[in-house]
Structure 1
Amino acid sequence: MAAVPPAAVTDALCTAVHRARAAAPDLRWSAPDRWHVTLAFLGPVPDERRGDLDARLARVARRHGPIAVETVGGGHFGDRVLWTAVRPGSAAVRPGALVALAAGVRRAVERAGAAAGADDRPLRAHLTLARVPDRGHRALGPLVELLRADVEPLPWTVDRLVLMRSIDSGPGAAPVYREQASWPLTGR
């Protein structure tokens, strides 16, 4: 389950990360059409569970309204993943709105029997920009500094939940993500 930034944001972000990409061509850079905020991980969903899952996700979407966010700066997870942050984009946004949305999605997924195992980690909203190749290690600090200098706030609105399917592309290749369904956030 994901929140997907609009094309205008991914286009601007492509420009903003240019220096970091040029400084680290050895990383596996994610294609912009793969950028998304993961709200929950799903396991395989049997056909007989799909209707229940869809109904639960539709209820979550009706309980949450659109959320103003912004993509900004950069960070890393260990020495393997480089990302840009997604944070509340306005003082008018209810604190924790994106976290509450993710919690609702996770509950719906678990109750539908579609969770990919227990996921108690707090939401760290981000877009994964690059990964260090398998078995590699790299000091990502200098790249984070470039991202912090170059990725100025890019505002956007999380206005729908997106069910993504990850399709294995073979050894060493990045998976392909396909949108399976989406639900507009229509609550207040």
Structure 2
Amino acid sequence: MRLFVAIVPPDEVLDDLADHVEPRRLADEEGGSDLRWTDRHQWHVTLAFLADVPDWRLDDLTAAVGATAARHHAPVLRLAGAGAFPNPYAARVLYTGVEQLRGDLGRLASGIRTACNGAGVSPGGTRFHPHVTLGRFRRPTEATRWIRALDAHEGRVWQPTELALVESHLGQGRGHRPRYEVVATAPLA
């Protein structure tokens, strides 16, 4: 199974972000860039990515994520700004940032990654950088114009109530994108 542990923003936060992104996405589709926009229902903040999880590990993983979530107080967050990975001059991913107004999202992500390791599942990825992926470029692209266009966004403040353990089904979504399925949730303290 291909899984990730994430915070899914509430609908009003996603609506706010969609209102900001949509005119830019529509203009881009007319202009024909090579940016593949992510669908709104795919927007989330990944805390840990788990590329290959055997089915038999799912119960232990769910319990470990649940126990860790219960020990962490929910941070107060806001989606704001824009950026690109690995950098604005050779971008592969365009994102909006996650501002931490209270709490420590990095500590939560670290705790979740440690819990995954303890359940026998090694998280992948690099240093944690909270973000919501808005789109992916087909090839490295200079993205400063996109960052400038999206950087003014300051979304609603919200406090997540739970974490989601999500299975990613590659190529099964619209336009051969991944389809996401929440397999478990874990309430935050």
State whether residues 113 and 123 of structure 2, in contact with CA within 8 Å, keep that contact through their aligned partners in structure 1: no
CA distance, structure 2, for counterparts of residue 47 and residue 28 of structure 1: 31
Question: Aligned Cα RMSD in Å?
Answer: 1.8
In 2, are the aligned partners of 1:65 and 1:159 still within 8 Å (CA)?
Answer: no
Tell me the CA shift for residue 52 of structure 1.
1.6
**Contact 1:43-1:114 within 8 A present in 2 as well:** no
Q: Deviations over 1:80-117 (max 9, x none)?
A: 1100001113xxx23xx110110010011111112245
The corresponding residue for 2:56 is 48
Residue 100 (structure 2) aligns with: 88
Task: Write the mapping of 1:1-188 to structure 2, written as runs, cut at 5 A.
Answer: 1-25=5-29, 26=33, 27-77=35-85, 78=87, 79-89=91-101, 93-94=102-103, 97-117=104-124, 119=125, 121-133=126-138, 136-149=139-152, 151-169=153-171, 173-186=176-189
In the alignment, is the contact (CA less than 8 A) between 2:69 and 2:187 conserved in 1?
Answer: yes
TM-score by length of 1: 0.86
| Percent identity over paired residues | 37
Query: What is the CA-CA distance between 1:45 and the residue it aligns to?
Result: 2.7
State the secondary structure of the residue aligned to 1:122. Answer: coil
Q: Please report the TM-score for the alignment, with normalisation by the length of structure 2.
A: 0.86
Preserved CA contact (<8 Å) 2:46 2:130:
yes
Unaligned runs of 5+ in 2: none
> Structure 2: how far apart are the matches of 1:84 and 1:42?
22
Contact 1:57 1:183 in 2 (8 A): yes
Please give the alpha-carbon distance, in whole angstroms, between the structure 2 residues aligned to 1:45 and 1:75: 30
**1: CA distance between counterparts of 2:149 and 2:51?**
36
The CA deviation at 1:29 is 0.4
User: What letter matches 1:87 in structure 2?
Assistant: E
Could you list the per-position Cα deviations for residues 108-166 of structure 1 after superposition, in whole angstroms to 9, with x for gaps in the alignment? 1111112245x4x3211000001112xx23221011001112x1232121221110000
Gaps of 5+ in 1: none
Matched residues in 2 for 1:185 and 1:116: separation? 20
1:178 to partner: Cα distance = 0.8
Q: Distance in 1 between matches of 2:70 and 2:25?
A: 39
The alpha-carbon distance between structure 1 residues 43 and 18, as it changes in their structure 2 partners (threshold 3 A), is: closer
Number of residue pairs matched?
176
- Structure number with higher strand proportion: 2
